[in-house]
Copies of this chain bind each other. A is one copy, B any other.
Amino acid sequence: MAVYTGPVQDLVDELGKLPGIGPKSAQRIAFHLLKLPRDDALRLAQVITEAKARVSWCERCFNVASEALCDICRDDRRDPSVICVVEEPRDVVAVEKTREYKGRYHVLGGAMNPLEGVGAEQLRVRELLARLADEAVTEVILCTNPNVEGETTALYLAKMLQDVPIKVTRIASGLPVGGDLEYADELTLGRAIEGRRTV
A11 close to B47 (CB less than 8 A): yes
A65 (CB) vs chain B CBs: closest residue: B5
A21 to B21, CA, bound (A): 9
Contact among B10, B31, B50, B90 with A28 in the assembled complex (CB-CB below 8 Å): B90
A40 CB → nearest B CB, Å:
8
Q: Mark A1-28, 1 if CB is under 8 A from B, else 0.
A: 1011111101101110111110001011
Name the B residues within 8 Å of A25 (CB-CB).
20
A93 CB → nearest B CB, Å:
5
A51 close to B8 (CB less than 8 A): yes
- Contact status of A66 and B14, CB under 8 A, knowing A20-B28, A42-B52, A55-B34: no
| Residue A138 is within 8 A (CB to CB) of chain B in the complex | no
A122 CB → nearest B CB, Å:
13
A188 CB → nearest B CB, Å:
21
| Residue A46 is within 8 A (CB to CB) of chain B in the complex | yes
Measured as residues with beta carbon below 8 angstroms from the partner, the interface class of chain A is 35 or more
A20 (CB) vs chain B CBs: closest residue: B25
| Residue A49 is within 8 A (CB to CB) of chain B in the complex | yes
Contact among B3, B31, B47, B93 with A4 in the assembled complex (CB-CB below 8 Å): B93
Q: Mark A45-60, 1 if CB is under 8 A from B, else 0.
A: 1111111101100000
A-B contact pairs, 19 of them (CB 8 A): A1-B97, A3-B96, A3-B97, A5-B71, A6-B66, A11-B51, A14-B43, A14-B47, A18-B32, A18-B33, A19-B28, A20-B29, A27-B93, A34-B51, A34-B52, A34-B64, A34-B89, A41-B48, A44-B45
